[in-house]
Amino acid sequence: MEWEFNSYYTLIAATAVLLSGKWLVGKIRFLRDFNIPEPVAGGLIAAMILFALHQFYGVSFKFEKPLQDAFMLIFFTSIGLSADFSRLKAGGLPLVVFTVVVGIFIAVQNLVGVGLASAFGLEPMIGLLTGSIALTGGHGTAGAWGATMEKLGIVGATGLGIASATFGLVFGGIIGGPVARRLINKQGRKPTNAETLSAGTNDDNTDDVFEKAVRPRLITADSAIETLAMFAASIAFGQIMDTIDSTYFPGWMNLPKFVWCLFGGVVLRNILTSAFKMNMFDRAIDVFGNASLSLFLAMALLNLKLWELTDLAGPVTVILLVQTVVMMVYATFVTYVFMGRDYDSAVLAAGHCGFGLGATPTAVANMQSITNTFGPSHKAFLIVPMVGAFFVDIINAVILSGFLNFLK
């Protein structure tokens, strides 16, 4: 028996998950100490309740997926609308270094996946599904490459890829906080009190978009409407370009829709600010982006069917667990070290865990959970959203094409 929730009830359920997650993090010290994001805390509890209902009563639940996708597109668009070219130039060498570090990890992730799949006697291409296709790539990439794999004879590749991506989304949100917390504790940095975090920040400052999600923002109805118009224009651009991309360039380009929405936001913002000298409503962009991030993660975890993960073969589960350990080790000894061994690099390590296993929204949530405790990290919030949402998809596509051609 399947209970289907329309968009209204899906939204109600997602907000309930977020409120329960906030309550859990506030009451359970373990969750606070390890900086587990509120949507992950509430979402995992909801997923376990749904799993119990399925196991004991045979009930499954279907939540409105297009609504989840819509909030994902709004979140990525908000990153684009926040990306002033002057801020991107400010990223400088650290942006380049982090992009290289991420690119090397994608290759490592696929080598680990292919190597372990071969060791277990599985088709080596399954190693790519449990590598950067599902983990760094996420659900969208898993669905796209899964169809390609099935054409090459890998039965059930799409389902396996999506299940692996779900595993990564959860564990990416779980390990990021503890990895960064351990690195920060070694530095001797102490938590910053809530009053200091929320006080003394210029409301018009664009450098802290997504960085201080709990800080009040002053927005008006007019600014909200104008901001929604920019979101609509960027998402419409993403829809048009996604159609052109998939129709005319299916073989070598075919970027996910959210990348085009992000790119549309970047172009729109910089045209409006440079050519028309428009003052951007970064406060409104910030509010919509953070709310969409939380709702997307809550809905993604509501759609987490734990009973499908139990169907994963033992070897595949082992591969995913090893990939989780590899991510933790790489973030600790490579990402953290090469990015400077300071507080910013620890926050970057948390972000890398988020999109290295899960998705960019998970990375931002990981970093927010750290900065809400230990203070701001402008460097991390400048670098991670652009690399995780844009550059990583291009790098991943190139590396995966190379691996696939070699394995064929």
DSSP string across 7-65: HHHHHHHHHHHHHHHHHHHHH-HHHHHTT--HHHHHHHHHHHHHHHHHHHH--EEEE-H
- Averaged pLDDT score across all residues of the chain: 84
- CA dist 351 and 385 (Å) reads 9
In the predicted structure, residue 147 carries a pLDDT above the cut 70: no
In the predicted structure, residue 289 carries a pLDDT above the cut 80: yes
Tokens representing residue 146 in the block: 């899964």
- CA dist 150 and 286 (Å) reads 40
In the predicted structure, residue 53 carries a pLDDT above the cut 80: yes
CATH of the domain at 273: 1.20.1530
In the predicted structure, residue 259 carries a pLDDT above the cut 90: no
Q: Which domain holds residue 28?
A: 2-407
Into how many domains does the chain fold?
1
Provide the pLDDT for residue 233: 96
Among 15-24, 141-150, 315-324, 387-396, which is the least confidently predicted range? Answer: 141-150
Confidence of residue 164 (pLDDT cuts 50, 70, 90): confident
Mean pLDDT, residues 122-127: 89
Of 118, 132, 127, give the one whose Cα is nearest residue 400: 132
Sign of the CA dihedral with 149 first, then 151, 152, and 153 last: positive
- pLDDT > 90 in the chain, percent: 33
Is 197 in contact with 215 (CB distance < 8 Å)? Answer: yes
Mean pLDDT, residues 172-177: 91
Tokens representing residue 404 in the block: 């696939």
Provide the pLDDT for residue 190: 85
- pLDDT > 70 in the chain, percent: 86
For the chain, state the CA radius of gyration: 20
In the predicted structure, residue 201 carries a pLDDT above the cut 50: no
Is 316 in contact with 164 (CB distance < 8 Å)? Answer: yes
pTM of the predicted protein model: 0.71
In the predicted structure, residue 210 carries a pLDDT above the cut 60: no
Provide the pLDDT for residue 303: 81
Is 51 in contact with 57 (CB distance < 8 Å)? Answer: no
